[in-house]
Amino acid sequence: MTATLNKDGPLAGQVAVITGASRGIGAAIAYRYAQEGARVVVSARTLEDGDHVLSGSINSVVKRIRDAGGEAHAVRADLSIEEHRENLIKETESTFGPVDILVNNAAVTFFVPVPDFPEKRFRLMMEVQVYAPFHLSQLVLPSMIERQSGRILNISSHAALHPAKDAGSRGGAVYGMCKAALERFTTGLASEVYDKNIGVNVISPGLVATPGVEYHKLITKENEDHVTPVEHMAEACLRLVHGDAQEITGRITFAADMLAEFNLEPAELLST
């Protein structure tokens, strides 16, 4: 099977912004949306290959989409900085037009036990994983409300679920707190904009072998049989941003559940 690009797909002509899209899940979402006709803006801190310890860059993602015949634009942004968030939306609007789809995927993650967690890192995680999605939503919502159309998709994690009291920890309390806050924001916003025809959802991928997951050594012998292909997450994220916004909104869902509910067959990605 060869990855294909359908300019007349369900996202034809729509403008999608994906944060944290230099690699992993964010890049996969960008490829999948572009394959269904979206004009994609990919954002992250890593502009060129080699700029980061992990492989991947927003320029390489854009090149792959353009080489396949799609439309894409790269905007470097550090989402902990207010001006970068504002510039991301401004540059998107000046390049492609108003934002139809916002995917809040970016994350900065540290695994440190609570007694030792540095305040600086705590504030950075909260800024990138909680406030940045909130602020970016504020920036795109006025246009969505005016047009009575839009989608916001937040990327969470199973870490948002409450652990068993005897489960032990790898220092993930702050990470889980950030994701739990993101999920509550999602359902609250979905309720606020339901009558504006704006769908707001949050999805967890399961364990995906992304560069970040491998870097943090989150895949072990005990869980390696449960690793989810990134194509599954991309397909689920596609389904959450088209169709009737009022029918699919306010969800806290998982990639596997979306595939089962809608009988989805994950497409090959441009990245493969």
Q: Considering only CA atoms, which of 100, 98, 97 is closest in space to residue 198?
A: 100
**Roughly how many angstroms between the first and final C-alpha of the chain, as a whole number?**
11
Active-site option among 31, 175, 194, 215? 175
In sequence order, what are the residues at sequence separation of 6 or more whose Cβ sits closer than 8 angstroms to the Cβ of residue 247?
Answer: none
Identify whether 175 is a catalytic site residue.
yes
In sequence order, what are the beta bridge partners of 254?
A: 204
Instruction: Write the DSSP symbol of residue 93.
Output: H
Helical ranges in the chain per DSSP H: 24-35, 58-67, 82-95, 119-126, 132-147, 173-192, 211-215, 230-239, 255-261
E strand spans, 138-197: 150-155
Cα–Cα distance for residue pair 223/256, rounded to 1 Å: 16
Answer whether 64's CB lies under 8 Å from 40's CB.
no
Specify which residues 71 forms β-bridges with. Answer: 39
Do residues 233 and 205 lie in contact, with contact meaning Cβ atoms separated by under 8 Å?
Answer: yes
91 CB-near residues (< 8 Å, 6+ apart):
41, 73, 75
Place of tokens 């090959």: 268
Q: 235: which 2 tokens?
A: 């397909």
Residues marked as catalytic: 175
